[in-house]
Amino acid sequence: MKFEHINSFADLADLVGDMVLANEMTIRNLQIINGDICVGETVFQFYIISNPEFLLKFTDELVFYDDELCLYVWGIKHFGTSWQLLPPPEFHE
């Protein structure tokens, strides 16, 4: 399998390149370009990422785009657990 080297959420995070925690992005006009938010779900953290390609192509992870700033933002819907301990999301091709 082509994703067997991704064993945790931390491994997935390594694939998105540089990440900057930017929870203040919630005040921006962000467009959802990947994944979705279900009723009752919360996005706990917003990270500006430098390379969204893997997330967009192979996951349903929540990714936003800020058209004015030309930035991709990864919305993290879990809180309080080390990313090393979290399993990666399901992948699709």
pTM over cut 0.75: yes
In a domain, residue 1? The reply is no
In a domain, residue 24? The reply is yes
In a domain, residue 62? The reply is yes
In a domain, residue 3? The reply is no
Residues 29-64: pLDDT tens digits? 999 999 999 999 999 999 999 999 999 999 999 999
Question: Number of folded domains in the chain?
Answer: 1
In a domain, residue 84? The reply is no
In a domain, residue 49? The reply is yes
Mean pLDDT, residues 66-92: 95
What pLDDT, on a 0 to 100 scale, did the predictor assign at position 90? 93
In a domain, residue 2? The reply is no
Q: Of the candidates 74, 47, 45, which has an alpha carbon nearest to the alpha carbon of residue 60?
A: 74
